[in-house]
Structure 1
């Protein structure tokens, strides 16, 4: 019984330990950048929300210089998660977890500045007229320059014939106010404050900005899978009149949260579940959180989805028992086998003691037969003493577990038979002795007479 109880406690302890290690919080390192960007602020808010929720997954931000550096950190295996741009080189070990936001390319031409001579050349109304002009790109990342080159090449404009100048986002408004370029490109969410401020700065002296439509957006999306055809809704950037006044065709690309390939399916499923659970809480402080979407789970997606995120999206997330039922079953089978093996080994160690007890039982049976033929009460007393010794040894064997209750019951029957045989034989011998004494007394009495 003690062995059984110990086994049950061992099983309960093993299950409790397995549950603890399976459900303990996991900290994931996430690469994000650049410093002071909306992405960094959003990740910091997610980190705090995950901590306060006491969820299974915690975050540890790793700040980088931008999406390119974040992708490299993931490719080198230094982080578990990263925020990357879909139109840049995606690491081979990256799998999509969520779409953080979708960005649109905005191309516009500012109105001529008041009090200044008009620049030579026709007014820019089409992308094909950008050849020989100066185009300002908002943001210091090379990815935005590459985006402009893709657009120019689609319209047959040699990027080498276009002067491209970049303005870091904090300096873009001042540069645009000083009319540093003939046209501008910005990339960001439709409600991007950076883009809206840049457009407003270009119209500070009045007039209306001219938005250049990318009518070949579907062709660009077909030739470059990282881009999608999109539209900028009228009035997306505010102002009076609306900026833009009508819908404008453009292309879009996504920022993704990606995970390192091979990361635990259960961990990423838990992260995805927590991400969409806290998204509602963050919308008030970070409107950007409303843009978070589930990843594309199609097999031909530009970035393959992580199995854990796919399980969450498809409603096939596994529970604790689903994940570990096989291990629990095989563990119980192993414990059962170990218990059987232990019992066999314990029996093997006691085989000599058990064999000795068997010989003692055979000795009892021999003593029963001998007692029935015995002619001496002294020998019967010796047999009784020997039976007492056998009883003592048998009880010790039972205490040691060498024999079971069935064997003890059989021994008890043999012992009782011996007691009966000895008692009956003693009674017979005593009766014979008394009869002989009476016969002798009668003989002496008869001879005297």
Structure 2
């Protein structure tokens, strides 16, 4: 008879496949989407709130200081990403520019305080001071204002109004005789030629900042025969009488350092150059313009010195030209914090983050969220181990089932700690675990008490493998 080969012992059936579900990916995706959509909302709101506004800037001659300052301001606004834009409109002279401003065809202009001031002009900033210099040849000093009125005067100044200003300040009538005695000097005429042509005095109206860079006075003092700088003894009275006039001081050595001219501080009068806006320009627009002007003074200064010392507008109610409410608001609250400037965007961002986050949280909670696995569901896996134990025919099989049971227990402990497993059905899990653990122990004892059965199983396994 032929010997029959022993039947191989079947292997343990595999455990049921388990699909591991996690909320981590959804949480990360929803968090990223919340931040992206909130940022997009804030950006869109910023664009909507900061729609660009174009202001027409009326200036005089295209090569004059007003036009050059306007061009610099336009560039600075662009560089600072301001919502304000400038459209610069040149005119033949500054008087025409102010006429355009007066017709409300322009929102911005620059004027000197001796000009005809449009009634709706409001000051944004003081750009420059003009100082009145009363010069006489050599050591011929002019003793008083009344003494000056009697002399033939040459007027040197940037503005076409300079002659009229001098006549007004000296209270000289518009008679033909006065027209002969007070004349506009040809541009760039040396002082010595003016004195040689019969003028007893030269009244120069100069930008204060320009004088500091101009070497003309120092050169004339050294090589042109010299001159005397005369004080205006009634400067304070003139400033009170004419609101457009300001008291000024020519400090020691301001015109010439060697020789020092003047050798002591000299009182005189002056005028101011103002950046003005229409009164109907909104407060927010004027405040934004003032902020850009005051925070970018160095970038706005012209090469010749004009606007190199920009000053805040006078906010007093009795100022010659009152400050625009928007400029006054910025000047009086110059320490605006980050919260003040960007509070609107921060509130918009917080609101967008709250709303969008709530929407995604609702979607996550009600629709896409994977609920934590219940402990009772793990009990099913434990019972599956118990069902497969009836196929365990050797110690190795029992060890395999024991390892699987301990893995389930470890998974349950970790899941209860990190929240991926809920405590629902925990008693059932514990009961199932203890039941299967005891069954494995009983099965192990049974195989140990029946070693022959164990050896037969081993022989069967070896035969099957051979």
What is the correspondence of 1:244-263 to structure 2 with a 5 Å cutoff?
244-263=262-281
| Alpha-carbon distance change, 211 to 39 in structure 1, aligned in 2, over 3 angstroms | same
Structure richer in helix, relative to its length: 1
Aligned residue for 1:289, secondary structure, equals coil
Tell me which of 134, 156, 167 is aligned to 1:138.
Answer: 156
Unmatched runs of 5 consecutive residues or more in structure 1: 1-11, 113-121, 330-449
Distance 1:124 1:305, change over 3 A: closer
Listed as ranges, the matches of 1:59-78 within 5 Å are 59-78=86-105
What does residue 90 of structure 1 align with?
117
Normalising by the residue count of structure 1, what TM-score does the alignment of the two structures yield? 0.59
Alpha-carbon deviation of 1:66?
3.6
Partner of 2:80 in structure 1? Answer: 53
Equivalent runs, 1:275-294 vs 2, <5 Å: 275-283=293-301, 285=303, 287-294=305-312
Quickly say closer, same or farther: Cα 1:184–1:177, change in 2 above 3 A: closer
What CA distance in whole angstroms lies between the structure 2 residues aligned with 1:21 and 1:38?
35
Matched residues in 2 for 1:195 and 1:219: separation? 30
Structure-2 separation of matches of 1:253 and 1:71: 17
Which residues in structure 2 correspond to 1:99-248 (within 5 Å)?
Answer: 99-111=126-138, 124-139=142-157, 141-153=159-171, 160=175, 161-162=177-178, 163-171=181-189, 176=194, 179=197, 181-193=199-211, 196=214, 199=217, 203=221, 205-248=223-266
CA distance in 2, matches of 1:102, 1:26: 30
CA contact (8 A) 1:110 1:202 kept: no
Q: 1:26 to 1:169 in 2, by over 3 A?
A: farther
- Report the Cα offset of residue 287 of structure 1: 3.6
Query: What corresponds to 2:52 in structure 1?
Result: 25
Would you say 1:274 and 2:292 are equivalent positions?
Answer: yes
Answer yes or no: is the 8 Å Cα contact 2:138–2:228 preserved in 1: yes
Aligned-pair CA distance for 1:250 = 0.5
Inter-partner Cα distance in structure 2 for 1:139 and 1:289:
17
Match of 2:170, SS state, is helix
Q: 1:108 to 1:302 in 2, by over 3 A?
A: same
Cross-structure match for 1:369: none
Instruction: Give the 3 Å change call, closer, same or farther, for CA 206–291 of structure 1 in structure 2.
Output: same
**Any idea what the Cα deviations from partners look like across 1:88-140, whole Å, max 9, x if unmatched?**
2211111111111111111111228xxxxxxxxx8644432334432101137
Greater relative contact order structure (CA < 8 Å, 6+ sep) = 2
SS class of match (1:254): strand
TM-score, scaled to structure 2 = 0.57
Structure 1 residue 64: deviation in Å? 2.6
Q: Is the 8 A contact 2:297 2:309 kept in 1?
A: no
Partner SS, residue 79 of structure 1: coil
Q: CA RMSD in A?
A: 3.6
In the alignment, the residues of structure 1 paired with residue 74 and residue 188 of structure 2 have an alpha-carbon distance, to the nearest angstrom, of 26
Task: Label 1:39 to 1:14 Cα distance change in 2 as closer, same or farther (>3 A).
Answer: same
Q: What are the Cα deviations for residues 209-262 of structure 1, in whole angstroms up to 9, with x where unaligned?
A: 112211111111111111122211111112531222221111121110000111
2:290 aligned counterpart, secondary structure = helix
Q: Which runs of 5+ in 2 are unaligned?
A: 1-38, 352-466
Go from structure 1 to structure 2 and tell me whether the alpha carbon gap of 1:284 and 1:13 turns closer, same or farther (over 3 Å shift): closer
